[in-house]
């Protein structure tokens, strides 16, 4: 009887372990705010976009089961540290300031920041050109850091927004004179009927602010997952998956060099 009990107990333990292993998954944190063409939720409730497809391809290359967790952008790092998910996949630039708190994977894309204003505007991104102007930018972003460092002392006012779409709407409405954001994320807006009012007035460069590109934000102690993630990025770039997905969205190399 004792021997049968031990066998039964061992079987139960093995089943429990296999169930736990099967249910384990890597959770990707994504900002709830739409950010096309990188990430947005469709009418069916399913996330779509270039960054979603790339993350799914990375997940497949890691041979992991993955899930998406929504969180507001300004709370995304605290949510990561609280272990609500494992990796931030939400167009987060790798910066020294953020690396004081979290770690990053290797970059998986890099596009320049720009300043956008009405076509008739003389704004060009220089501090002098925004004197007496109102500049809009999304809060808790590298773009906000750039504006604070380079434009705040010249501009009449800096208006911050929770979402990318909100500052674009205010630009169209004339409540701000210019907005600062990612060049690629700006393109769908500029191609729209509403965005026809405006154009890119200049690229904004500061490696100290913008860092080397966009990577997956991770907790500092998740070294094994970071190694797997980096290997997966290399794999999908080497086997053509990265380029195949990117060509569906862009006509240029979004990776941005070596």
With a CB cutoff of 8 Å and minimum separation 6, the contacts of 103 are: 217, 218, 219, 220, 222, 226
**Token pair in block for residue 67:** 């899930």
Q: Which of 32, 31, 29, 39 is nearest to 188 (CA)?
A: 39
pLDDT for residue 18? 41
Assigned architecture for domain 113-210: 3-Layer(aba) Sandwich (3.40)
pLDDT digits (tens, 9 = 90+) for 67-88: 999 999 999 999 999 999 999 9
Topology (CATH level 3) of domain 2-110+213-246? D-Maltodextrin-Binding Protein; domain 2 (3.40.190)
Count Cβ atoms below 10 Å from residue 149 Cβ, excluding itself: 12
pLDDT for residue 2? 52
Taking the C-alpha atoms of residue 87 and residue 103, their distance in angstroms, rounded to an integer, is 10
With a CB cutoff of 8 Å and minimum separation 6, the contacts of 25 are: 64, 65, 66, 67
Same fold flag, 2-110+213-246 and 113-210: yes
Identify which has the larger pLDDT, 5 or 125: 125
| pTM, 2 dp | 0.73
pLDDT digits (tens, 9 = 90+) for 100-124: 999 999 999 999 999 999 999 999 9
Identify which has the larger pLDDT, 111 or 218: 218
H-type alpha helices, the chain = 2-23, 50-62, 76-81, 142-146, 164-173, 183-191, 207-210, 223-238, 241-246
Is the pLDDT confidence value at 201 over 50? yes
Query: Is 124 within 8 Å of 242 (Cβ atoms)?
Result: no
Question: Hey, where are the domains in the chain?
Answer: 2-110+213-246, 113-210
């Amino acid at each position: 009887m004792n021997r049968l009990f031990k066998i039964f107990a061992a079987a139960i333990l093995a089943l429990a372990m296999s169930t736990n292993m099967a249910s384990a998954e890597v959770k990707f944190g994504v900002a709830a705010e739409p950010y096309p063409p990188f990430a947005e939720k469709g009418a069916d409730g399913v996330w779509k976009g270039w960054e979603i497809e790339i993350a799914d391809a990375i997940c497949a290359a890691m041979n992991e089961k993955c899930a998406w967790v929504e969180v507001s952008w300004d709370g995304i790092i605290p949510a990561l540290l609280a272990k609500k998910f494992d990796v931030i996949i939400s167009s987060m630039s790798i910066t020294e300031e953020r690396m004081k708190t979290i770690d990053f994977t290797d970059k998986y894309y890099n596009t320049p920041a720009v300043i956008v204003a009405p076509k008739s505007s003389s704004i060009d991104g220089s501090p002098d050109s925004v004197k007496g102007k109102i500049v809009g930018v999304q809060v808790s972003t590298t773009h906000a850091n750039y504006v604070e460092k380079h434009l705040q002392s010249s501009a009449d006012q800096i208006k911050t927004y929770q979402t990318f779409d909100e500052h674009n709407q205010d630009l169209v409405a004339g409540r701000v004179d210019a907005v600062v954001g990612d060049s690629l994320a700006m393109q769908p807006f500029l191609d729209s009927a509403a965005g026809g009012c405006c154009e890119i007035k200049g690229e904004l460069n500061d490696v100290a602010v913008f860092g080397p590109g966009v990577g997956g934000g991770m907790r500092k102690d998740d070294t094994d997952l970071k190694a797997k993630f980096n290997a997966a990025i290399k794999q999908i770039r080497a086997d053509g998956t990265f380029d195949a997905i990117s060509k569906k969205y862009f006509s240029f190399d979004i990776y941005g060099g070596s």
